[in-house]
Structure 1
Amino acid sequence: MSNKTNVAVKGETPDILFIEPFYGGSHKELIDTIIKSISTYTLVTMPCKKWHWRSRCGALSLMTIIPKVTTEKVLFCSSILNLAELLGLRPDLNSLKKVIYFHENQLIYPIQEIKNRDIQYSYNQIISCLAADIVIFNSNFNKNSFLSNIKKIIKLIPDYRSTNLEGIIRKKCEVLYFPVTFPEKPFEGRLNEKSNVLRIVWPHRWEFDKCPEDFFNVLLKLKTENIKFEVVVLGECYREIPEIMNVSREKLENEIVHCGYIDSKSTYFQTLMKCDVVVSTSHHEFFGVAMIEAAYCGCFPLVPNNLVYPEIYPNNCLYSNIEDLYARLKCYCLNPTLAYEDRSKLDLSFEKYSSVKLTPEFLKILNNK
């Protein structure tokens, strides 16, 4: 991963200025997907590290790096960036149509007591929306949870509270699902080969909000009952590895088939196609690219019955609590063919989330149409 800020200009008369202070993961994938269909643009990026500092200080860091506006008409950024702050530091950018994309929102970060949270991240996102012309969310859940929690954040201000911010921002809002680039080769079905050991995949960032503790505690419980299974652990680790993962790698040494991030997308998809069930234990999720990819590659998804998941997945994919997840996985482990049968009947429209369908919708917005 490069530690350098990158400025790339394609074409002599770029129309769109892309700014991404956290250029990695789904943030990078979104930008890369869109620019494949654009002939002229300016792209300014920073490495995907220490997102807290990107959110706090990204505008200041980018102030002198972003080139002077020439032919650009549109600015596109993610909600990691404090857009309002950047516009104050670079007033020449105010002339552009400003579009901000929300991969997530900080207003419902999973800390129960709101007064114990650093609300600066939530505040940044609220004022970024006020500064933007168009606000795009990656799901209805993301949009609705953001708008409905603005008042809770503003109430923490001791006096001179602004009113009707929800109404002002709502008028600017749209929903465009994340444009997923699915593999060309459709899945053929590992369990169709009569596999007798269930292979479970967990394809998430190794961080607090994805709750690896819940997932691995379920697996450890299955092992204590001498129930056979295999597990594949994917996803990136940006900071310290959660202790449960170190413990589990030792206790599940015989069950773990793979553990670690896979950089090659084709290898990543091939790995998913060799798995049977994909699990989310997330406490903070607004779309979930990895889950959609795994389901497309032939895994049956098991997801919490909250957050964005009921918006995307049918009822038979939703579990109510960790005990329910344990029971579902135990059933599949004891009879892996059931997982294949459930996957073959999965009612999930992947076209709805495909980059082929969604990229033109992004282009309409960016091309002022």
Structure 2
Amino acid sequence: MLLVEPYYGGSHASWVDGIKKHSKHKITCVTHPDSYWRWRLRGGAVTLAEETKAAVTTVGKIDLALVSSMVDLSAWLGLTRKTLKDIPTVLYLHENQLNYPVKPGEKINDEFAITNWRSLLAADEIWFNSDFQRQALFQALPSLLHKAPDFSHEYLITEVKKRTRVVPVGVELQDLQGSKRKEEIPLILWNQRWDYDKNPEEIASSILQLADEKIDFNIALVGENVRNNPHELLEVRDQLGERVVEFGFLPRDDYLRLLNKADVVISAAKHEFFGISVVEALAAGAIPVLPNHQSYPEIIPEPWHTSALYTPGELVDRLRDVLLNLDTWSSTTEGLVQEMQKYDWSVMIDTYDSLIESVINEYGHNL
């Protein structure tokens, strides 16, 4: 199998590495670094196609291509048609450009959304990391395609949707302990990418408000920083000093140690199609304080919705209550550690391997 990842870094890299490590199939990877995402969508197909040709020369026949979504799949298939022939091709959507929130001051640009649409059309199957993303994309497609001056593609939406399925990302959970109440002073964890769509402003203001109220806690603000000046997070560090026990990106071993110490994991994300970092924290035993939208109601099973999810505008109130009544909230979220195990790669890889075989059998030649 050929595994193509145009944006190899972060959660995309974890996905690639997990498949390669755990799958029973022989995996050949073609990747580009996780930079210049616009160029990956505009021009990545050309260089990925060249690397694909070189890979096939080395390894020989390919039975299936599993391609991540940060590329124009239609262009890549066109450029590799003589090398790959007509092999079954699966498009995996970690995210899409139809639903990605626009930064303040930026204008909506349909170029990359249309690129995603062409990729959907070109794939034999389309796998989404969550049903939340799948539903959001198909809700957004009609208004995008309705903008066409003529020859609208709207009539193709139903046919494309029939070729979709939800295949969550696998997560490495074996090194997480799943224990409760680990720190004498409650340790809050915010472990998301430092960008506008993860809403660091609300995280920072909530933490500072609770600190002003003299509530006892420490805080770890960790994740990939993609901004030149994460001013609101810097303000938290400056005002709280030693209470900020971690700040910035951590090596994997240090991050695992932090996960196993965290008492509470928080999010205020405006955009989340899956949430690997939240799954990791829950598997380590952290109490979730998460918004009741995005992918979170899908990740959190329904019996825990009341205890794990808050309505917009209630982050401060919920977090305050959790910190002041940690044992009570810990008992109400009992069982989530075990629920997260379904996302472990040791479990998820059986789904991937089975689907790989079924796609090959349906669209290509038998293994």
Q: TM-score, normalised by structure 1?
A: 0.88
The AA in structure 2 aligned to 1:291 is V
Equivalent residue in structure 2 for 1:326, among 316, 323, 334: 316
Structure 2 unmatched runs, 5+: 362-367
Matches within 5 A, 1:235-274: 235-264=223-252, 266-274=253-261
Measured in 1, the distance between the counterparts of 2:85 and 2:150 equals: 29
Aligned: 1:26 with 2:26: no
Aligned: 1:152 with 2:143: yes
Equivalent residue in structure 1 for 2:279, among 292, 302, 312: 292
Measured in 2, the distance between the counterparts of 1:19 and 1:343 equals: 38
Structure 1 unmatched runs, 5+: 1-15
Aligned: 1:366 with 2:356: yes
Report the CA distance between 1:345 and its aligned residue.
5.4
Report the CA distance between 1:87 and its aligned residue.
1.8
- Which segment is superposed worse, 131-140 or 143-152? 143-152
- How high is the sequence identity, in percent, across the aligned residues? 32
CA spacing shift, 1:50–1:246, aligned 2, 3 Å: farther
The AA in structure 1 aligned to 2:172 is T
Q: 1:310: which partner in 2?
A: 297
Q: 2:38: which partner in 1?
A: 52
Report the CA distance between 1:258 and its aligned residue.
0.5
Instruction: Tell me which protein shows more helix as a share of its residues.
Output: 2
Aligned: 1:119 with 2:101: no
Measured in 1, the distance between the counterparts of 2:210 and 2:176 equals: 33
Alignment deviations for residues 114-163 of structure 1 (CA, whole Å, 9 cap, x no partner): x9311222111111010000100111111111112111111222333112
Q: 1:10: which partner in 2?
A: none
Aligned: 1:43 with 2:34: no
Measured in 2, the distance between the counterparts of 1:252 and 1:112 equals: 28
Q: Secondary structure at the match of 2:242?
A: coil
The AA in structure 2 aligned to 1:174 is R
Matches within 5 A, 1:50-129: 50-67=36-53, 69=56, 70-92=60-82, 93-111=84-102, 116-129=107-120
Q: 2:206: which partner in 1?
A: 218
- Structure scoring higher RCO (CA < 8 A, sep ≥ 6) equals 2
The AA in structure 2 aligned to 1:165 is L
Measured in 2, the distance between the counterparts of 1:161 and 1:343 equals: 48
Alignment deviations for residues 256-286 of structure 1 (CA, whole Å, 9 cap, x no partner): 011121222x432221111111011111111
The AA in structure 2 aligned to 1:341 is S
The AA in structure 1 aligned to 2:165 is E
Report the CA distance between 1:184 and its aligned residue.
4.1
Measured in 2, the distance between the counterparts of 1:124 and 1:294 equals: 34
Measured in 2, the distance between the counterparts of 1:129 and 1:29 equals: 23
After TM superposition, the runs of 4+ consecutive aligned structure 1 residues lying more than 4 A away are: 345-348
Q: Is the 8 A contact 1:22 1:54 kept in 2?
A: yes
- Which segment is superposed worse, 268-277 or 284-293? 268-277
Measured in 1, the distance between the counterparts of 2:349 and 2:146 equals: 38
Equivalent residue in structure 1 for 2:188, among 194, 200, 212: 200
Q: Is the 8 A contact 1:150 1:165 kept in 2?
A: no
The AA in structure 2 aligned to 1:208 is Y
RMSD: 2.2
The AA in structure 1 aligned to 2:241 is E
Q: 2:365: which partner in 1?
A: none
Equivalent residue in structure 1 for 2:168, among 177, 183, 202: 177
Report the CA distance between 1:112 and its aligned residue.
9.5
Measured in 1, the distance between the counterparts of 2:151 and 2:103 equals: 26
Q: Is the 8 A contact 1:277 1:339 kept in 2?
A: no
Measured in 2, the distance between the counterparts of 1:164 and 1:157 equals: 13
Measured in 2, the distance between the counterparts of 1:241 and 1:44 equals: 33
Q: Is the 8 A contact 1:19 1:75 kept in 2?
A: yes
Measured in 2, the distance between the counterparts of 1:184 and 1:227 equals: 31
CA spacing shift, 1:205–1:241, aligned 2, 3 Å: farther
Report the CA distance between 1:166 and its aligned residue.
1.6
Q: Is the 8 A contact 1:189 1:298 kept in 2?
A: yes
Report the CA distance between 1:213 and its aligned residue.
0.7
Measured in 1, the distance between the counterparts of 2:242 and 2:332 equals: 27
Measured in 1, the distance between the counterparts of 2:276 and 2:226 equals: 18
Q: Is the 8 A contact 1:21 1:54 kept in 2?
A: yes
Q: Is the 8 A contact 2:6 2:44 kept in 1?
A: yes
Q: 1:17: which partner in 2?
A: 2
Alignment deviations for residues 25-64 of structure 1 (CA, whole Å, 9 cap, x no partner): 1111111111122453321111112222222221123232
Q: Secondary structure at the match of 1:349?
A: helix
Q: 1:141: which partner in 2?
A: 132
Alignment deviations for residues 269-308 of structure 1 (CA, whole Å, 9 cap, x no partner): 2211111110111111111010011011010111111111
Alignment deviations for residues 318-365 of structure 1 (CA, whole Å, 9 cap, x no partner): 11113x110011122233333433343548622332212211211122
Q: Secondary structure at the match of 2:51?
A: coil
The AA in structure 1 aligned to 2:317 is A
Matches within 5 A, 1:323-362: 324-344=314-334, 346=336, 349-362=339-352
Report the CA distance between 1:235 and its aligned residue.
1.2
Q: Secondary structure at the match of 1:76?
A: strand
Report the CA distance between 1:164 and its aligned residue.
1.8
